[in-house]
Amino acid sequence: MLTVGLYGKPSTGKSTFFSAVTKKVVTIAEHPFSTTTSDEGIAYVSDTCPCTEFSITCNPANGTYCQSGTRFVPIKIIDVPGVIGGAHAGKGLGKQSLSALNKVDGLIYLLDLTREDCIEDFELLKNEYILWVTNILNKNWRGISKEVAGMRRPLDLVIQTHLNTFNIDPRYVKIMLEDLPRNPYDWTGNTIKLFSERIWAKKKYVIAANKADLCLDQLGVIEALQKKYGRKVLPVSSLSELILIRRQETGDVRYVRGSNNFTVLKNRDEELSRIERTMAVLGGTGVQACLNNLVFDELEQILAYPVENIDRLDDSRGRVLPGPYLMPQHSTLADFARRVHTEISEGLLFGVDARHRRRIGKQTPLQQNDIIKLVHTRKKGK
Ligand SMILES: Nc1nc2c(ncn2[C@@H]2O[C@H](COP(=O)(O)OP(=O)(O)OP(=O)(O)O)[C@@H](O)[C@H]2O)c(=O)[nH]1
Ligand SMILES: [Mg+2]
């Protein structure tokens, strides 16, 4: 399952975000290092459910659910202990936080917008990670060099095995090494640092400016942050999301994650009015936007629905629009069939795009929210 991690300095609101999206009860406190070990849970990415387009009632499967025409699809999320300066040398809970970075496909970096120095925050994680990787490579470099010289193996292959720890796609390693010396004995400390920076550059992330509810009249800071990082920075109020989810459970409000408002059903009070004001300014709590942005835009994933019957849009068990599956962008029909079932993939003939009632070939790339019938021959004996 696709995994994302929550990063940031202590007390930036990681556990608040985590609890809001997973509904898990965790320690949330003003003091730093209230989270001491990583915690895992299930969060959801969302997009419009095709049931609205076809005006039918769907039967979500694969751990997904549909609420008011929005389909929610599960991913794994990790709450990571806070990172501080010196983490690469073990300061705070440093190494634990940094090594968790290697287990995730993408990360949400939370800044505390109420802190004046938050503009420098993201550099901290980047620098600590690069220093940590540099230290590990420095420690292993003698071994890597011996392996290349003694066993006459190319550097990219040797380094690849050592890079497993850093969760780097082997396809990138050759490109990352292209302009660097082939002989590891020719590498200096600076070459190793440069290579470590390239490992960082492969990380996929979104930056979230949390506690935006406390800074509604100073959101100009976000523009400065965007300029500094050269990318979108999302305003977020994790606390608003957490309160809405809790009050939805007590029946006070009706709320669909990711929407820009909610309905008060009972017990209207100042807390809910404050959240309404926050959401009106931010266009929502920003929490679902972070997850969707990371998974669909940064990690370049799409959703695709397998169906058996293109008129009823159901599967062999009569479930309407079951699934969907989360797949990398540009996945082909053949990749989709492999994902759905090996047996189907082995006997795959072609696909039918149910929306456009069009036959598609095995190498056709799928699009977001495609509804596909996989036409196949079952293999004998299966
Ligand atoms: N106003 C406001 N307060 C928030 C928000 N998110 C978190 N907080 C508060 O910030 C404090 C720290 O929140 P945590 O979620 O424990 O922070 P953390 O990043 O997990 O902290 P560590 O585990 O110590 O690294 C708590 O008092 C939260 O109530 C938010 O969006 N708005
Ligand atoms: Mg925490």
Give me the residue spans of the domains in the chain: 3-115+204-296, 124-201, 303-376
Cis peptide preceding 324, ω within 30 of 0? yes
- Which ligand is located closest to the Cα atom of residue 31? 1
In this model, does residue 87 exceed pLDDT 70? yes
Contacts of 152 (CB under 8 A, 6+ apart): none
pLDDT at 82: 84
The percentage of residues in the chain with a pLDDT greater than 70, rounded to a whole number, is: 97
In this model, does residue 248 exceed pLDDT 80? yes
Task: Report domain 303-376's class.
Answer: alpha beta
Pick the CATH number of 124-201 from 3.20.20.70, 1.10.8.470, 3.50.50.60, 1.10.3720.10: 1.10.8.470
CA 223 / ligand 1 centre spacing (Å): 23
CA 20 / ligand 2 centre spacing (Å): 12
pLDDT at 252: 98
More confident call, 184 vs 373:
373
Strands 70-79 and 65-67: antiparallel
pLDDT at 382: 42
Handedness of CA 333, 335, 336, 341 (dihedral sign): positive
211 lines ligand 1 (CB under 6 A): yes
Average pLDDT, the chain: 90
CA 127 / ligand 1 centre spacing (Å): 23
Chain segment 186-215, per-residue pLDDT in tens: 889 999 999 999 988 888 999 999 999 999
Question: What would you report as the CA-atom Rg of the chain, rounded to the nearest whole angstrom?
Answer: 24
Neighbours of ion ligand 2 (CB under 5 A): 14-15, 34-35
Among protein residues, the one whose CA lies closest to atom 16 of ligand 1: 28
Residue 240 CA, closest ligand 1 atom number: 31
In this model, does residue 92 exceed pLDDT 90? no
10 Å CB burial of residue 252 (0-12, 13-18, 19+) is buried
DSSP 8-state symbol, 364: P
d(CA 31, CA 86): 19
Among protein residues, the one whose CA lies closest to atom 6 of ligand 1: 13
CA 220 / ligand 1 centre spacing (Å): 22
List the one residue out of 302, 344, 343 whose CA is nearest residue 323: 302
pLDDT at 338: 93
Q: pTM of the predicted model, to two decimals?
A: 0.92
Among protein residues, the one whose CA lies closest to atom 24 of ligand 1: 33
10 Å CB burial of residue 209 (0-12, 13-18, 19+) is buried
3-state secondary structure of 189: helix
What superfamily in CATH does domain 3-115+204-296 come from? P-loop containing nucleotide triphosphate hydrolases (3.40.50.300)
pLDDT at 379: 54
Q: Which residue type sits at 114?
A: T
Q: Which residue type sits at 211?
A: K
Are the C-beta atoms of 153 and 147 separated by less than 8 Å? yes
More confident call, 184 vs 214:
214
Ligand 1 pocket: which of 21, 25, 27, 34 to mutate (most atoms within 8 A of CB)? 34
Chain segment 267-326, per-residue pLDDT in tens: 999 999 999 999 999 999 999 999 999 999 999 999 999 999 999 999 989 999 998 999
